[in-house]
Amino acid sequence: GSTLGGAAARTGRYFGTAVSASKLSDSVYTGILSREFTMITPENEMKMDATEPNQNQFSYANADRIVDQATSQGARLRGHTLAWYSQQPGWMQSMEGTALRQAMLNHITQVAGHYRGKIYAWDVVNEAFADGGSGARRDSNLQRTGDDWIEAAFRAARAADPGAKLCYNDYNTDDWNQAKTQAVYRMVQDFKSRGVPIDCVGFQSHFNSNSPVPSNYRTTLQNFADLGVDVQITELDIEGSGTTQADNFRTVTQACLAVPRCTGMTVWGIRDTDSWRASATPLLFDGNGQKKAAYTAVLDALNNG
Ligand code: G3I
């Protein structure tokens, strides 16, 4: 294949990117988007603050523009995200207890229901585990509604859109030997054993010199897949430049290709200048939309996979 999406399709996989609705009027951006990518994740437009700015008043205009773009280019969609400690609307940030639990479930029912049938996979719950060595849940207002908030979220999502794959998504879960990775693994194992509806685990994969691609990354993906879930690389970006950056992107791509249940990978933006951390130049296209060495490394890996 001569494009990322085309090359990934050789092995039945997709290649995606995060998309911002505000950039859909940029023809360089949309040109690369429609040429290269077969999966789209709205970067911010499906988050809780965007879709329910006032309680029980839903706002879908920006997200729907991205859905329309996906439809027009024949790409699929990853929904991001139904329940997260961050980017909650103001009215939700101050809620606790039963009222918050009900508001979360209502949010999931409404938003996943609105997009029913249009979403390949939902990041149902995002970033629910703590960093560091504790292996604990991250403290948040959602967590304080009770440990079962995550499974309640997955059950509500399944009821609202039975055709969507339901994923847990997190970062710093790439190194098999980290406590956070082990904790997420045990949750997925528990959910599978008790029949809680979970279909997939997303590995954000935001890498930099402090958090490089771990040597056991492929092992981590395979171990999760062995629990009976699909795995995806959901927000890939790698700080750096030149050959070193290209080598790291190749390693990540080859790890996904080596795991049959790694169904696809998504980069967190198109051009370096589109990135949430633009100074890290962490993406596959430069600010002018030109292909970087990292692009060629990924394309070659996909074509040889
Ligand atoms: O839309 C407003 C705009 O009106 C205002 O003028 C501007 C001023 O700062 O802010 C704009 O909102 C910003 C939004 O991005 C859109 O650009 C928010 O302040 C900013 O916080 C938000 O950042 C996003 C971040 O999530 C928020 O947590 C990034 O774009 C987005 O890339 C990032 O994505 C997250 C994933 O969802 C979860 N995993 C980590 C990843 C990177 O942080």
In order, the DSSP letters of 139-193 are P-TTGGG-TTHHHHHHHHHHHH-TTSEEEEEESS--STTSHHHHHHHHHHHHHHH
pLDDT of residue 102: 98
- What ipTM, to 2 d.p.? 0.94
Query: What whole-number distance in Å separates Cα of residue 173 and Cα of residue 180?
Result: 6
pLDDT of residue 149: 99
Query: What whole-number distance in Å separates Cα of residue 15 and Cα of residue 17?
Result: 7
Check: CB of residue 31 under 8 Å from CB of residue 271: no
The closest residue, in CA terms, to atom 43 on ligand 1 is 276
Is the CB–ligand 1 distance for residue 276 below 6 Å?
yes
Check: CB of residue 241 under 8 Å from CB of residue 230: no
Tens-of-pLDDT digits for all 305 residues of the chain?
Answer: 999 999 999 999 999 999 999 999 999 999 999 999 999 999 999 999 999 999 999 999 999 999 999 999 999 999 999 999 999 999 999 999 999 999 999 999 999 999 999 999 999 999 999 999 999 999 999 999 999 999 999 999 999 999 999 999 999 999 999 999 999 999 999 999 999 999 999 999 999 999 999 999 999 999 999 999 999 999 999 999 999 999 999 999 999 999 999 999 999 999 999 999 999 999 999 999 999 999 999 999 999 98
Is the CB–ligand 1 distance for residue 22 below 6 Å?
no
pLDDT of residue 286: 98
pLDDT of residue 305: 82
Instruction: Evaluate the omega torsion of the peptide bond into residue 266 and state whether it is cis, within 30 degrees of 0.
Output: no
Is the CB–ligand 1 distance for residue 86 below 6 Å?
yes
For residue 198, give both structure tokens.
Answer: 């979970």
Q: Enumerate helices (H) and strands (E) in the chain, giving the number of each.
A: 11, 9
The closest residue, in CA terms, to atom 39 on ligand 1 is 204
Provide the whole-model pTM: 0.98
Among 43, 44, 62, 78, which is best to mutate for testing ligand 1, by the most ligand atoms less than 8 A from CB?
A: 44
Amino acid (one-letter) located at 15: F
Q: Centre a 10 Å sphere on the Cβ of residue 79 and count the other Cβ atoms it contains.
A: 26
